[in-house]
């Protein structure tokens, strides 16, 4: 037998859930889950419990969309999961009901907007990398050191006094983390277990 399942959330313990609870009860919810947690947290245990409780044919109901999620992508993901499980979704304040054509169209628009946002972010990232390359900066994976670079690094690190890793990395135009990949602590010049052959990084 299908059920109407309500979910209410407040951000802090001193907020009152009365408004949400009254609205969910009026909507006919037979089972209501109440959570006190920030909307930014994605690991809300009561929400997970409520979603797991819902079964095929049920309707998952919230007072407002922002009670369920803080981002459009998170909202779409949750509602799509419910849809795959053949569970309808309703938001009382926005009068959205995925069991109706209008409700389904609303979420189709939301999904399109989410994909558009992703495309914009991808485009900005590509444009940013292109601009950085044009200025002589390279994004993405760290630069690999050549044999000549490694030889220079060994000499500089073995000098008396030796240069710091930051100084050597700056001279080779790489980040210190790149240099650390080739010269871990126990294989640096001056260390008792130092070897002239640097280790290869875990990931090229």
Q: Do 19 and 87 sit in the same domain of this protein?
A: yes
Residue 7 β-bridge partners:
33, 62
Q: Which of the residues are catalytic?
A: 11
* In-domain check, residue 203: yes
* In-domain check, residue 110: no
192: tokens are 């008792």
Q: Do 89 and 145 sit in the same domain of this protein?
A: no
Query: What's the CATH code of the domain at 76?
Result: 3.40.50.1390
Q: Do 18 and 95 sit in the same domain of this protein?
A: yes
Of 72, 99, 126, the domain-final residue: 99
Q: Do 93 and 157 sit in the same domain of this protein?
A: no
* In-domain check, residue 125: no
Q: Do 95 and 145 sit in the same domain of this protein?
A: no
Q: Do 9 and 62 sit in the same domain of this protein?
A: yes
Q: Do 94 and 150 sit in the same domain of this protein?
A: no
Whole-angstrom distance, CA of residue 200 vs CA of residue 198: 6
Q: Give the mean pLDDT per block of 10 residues along the chain (204 residues).
A: 91 74 94 80 82 95 89 85 93 90 85 68 71 62 73 79 80 80 59 45 44
DSSP state of 140: S
The parent domain of residue 158 ranges over 140-204
* In-domain check, residue 134: no
* In-domain check, residue 124: no
Residue 97 β-bridge partners:
90
* In-domain check, residue 161: yes
* In-domain check, residue 118: no
* In-domain check, residue 126: no
Q: Do 148 and 62 sit in the same domain of this protein?
A: no
Q: Do 144 and 92 sit in the same domain of this protein?
A: no
- Total domains, the chain: 2
Q: What is the pLDDT of residues 167-204, one digit of tens each?
A: 888 888 887 777 777 776 544 444 444 444 444 444 44
Residue 188 has phi, psi (to 5 degrees) of -85, 150
Q: What is the pLDDT of residue 51?
A: 94
135: tokens are 């200025």
Q: What's the gap between Cα 181 and its chain centre?
A: 27
């Amino acid at each position: 037998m299908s059920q109407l399942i309500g979910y209410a959330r407040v951000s802090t313990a001193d907020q009152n859930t009365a408004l949400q609870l009254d609205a969910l009860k009026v909507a006919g919810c037979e089972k209501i889950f109440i959570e006190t947690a920030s909307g930014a947290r994605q690991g809300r245990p009561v929400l997970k419990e409520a979603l797991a409780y819902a079964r095929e044919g049920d309707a998952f109901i919230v007072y407002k969309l922002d009670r369920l999620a803080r981002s459009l992508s998170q909202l779409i993901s949750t509602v799509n999961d419910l849809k795959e499980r053949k569970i309808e979704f309703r938001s009382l304040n926005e009068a959205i009901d995925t069991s109706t054509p209008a409700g389904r169209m609303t979420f189709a628009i939301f999904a399109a907007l989410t994909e558009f946002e992703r495309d914009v972010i991808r485009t900005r990232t590509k444009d940013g990398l292109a601009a950085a390359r044009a200025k002589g900066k390279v994004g993405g994976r760290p630069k690999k050191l050549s044999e000549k670079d490694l030889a220079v690094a060994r000499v500089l690190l073995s000098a008396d006094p030796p240069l710091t890793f930051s100084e050597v990395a700056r001279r080779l135009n790489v980040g210190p983390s790149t240099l650390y990949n080739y010269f871990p602590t126990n294989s640096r010049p001056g260390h008792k277990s130092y070897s002239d052959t640097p280790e290869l990084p875990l990931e090229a």
